Amino acid sequence: MTAPAPSLAASRRRTAVLTVIIAVATVVLLWLMQGMETVCQAIYPAPASCAADARRVPGLVSGAATIALAGATFVTNAVAASPRARTVAQVLLGGLVVVAILGLGWTLGASGFVLGW
C-alpha cells in the first residue's frame, strides 16, 4: 500500500514553514556569530582575520544570500500551480539549506574561534 500524495495546500504550507524556519534560524545564528571570541596569534602586525570586523562581511553576504534565496523559495512556492513548479520550490528549499550551511561555516571560519564551555 502506498501513502496518498500530500495535497497541494499541505505541500505549500510545509515548504513555506520550512523556508521561514531555516531563514530565521540562519540569520539569528549569523548575528550571534558576530560577537564570538576570536583566536589570534601574538604577532605584530596582527593578521586581517584578527580584526574586530573579520566576520562582518561574510555574515552580511551570507545573510543577504539566505534572505534572497528564502524570498525566491517563498514566491515560487506561493505561485506554484503545477507539479513542476512545486519541484522547483523544493529544489530552492534544498538550495537554501546548502547556502545556510556554507554561509554559517564561512562566517565562523572567517577568523579563529573559541567555543566557551
Using one digit for the tens of pLDDT, what is the confidence trace for 46-96? 777 787 788 888 999 999 999 999 999 999 998 877 888 888 999 999 999
pTM passes above 0.75 = yes
Can you tell me the mean pLDDT for 24-30? Answer: 96
Q: Where are the domains of the chain?
A: 10-33+55-109
Provide the grid cell at 25: 534560524
Using one digit for the tens of pLDDT, what is the confidence trace for 32-41? 988 777 777 7
Alpha-carbon distance of 110 to 45, in angstroms, equals 18
Residue 97: predicted pLDDT: 96
Residue 4: predicted pLDDT: 63
Q: What are phi and psi of 58, to 5 degrees?
A: -60, -35
Residue 52: predicted pLDDT: 75
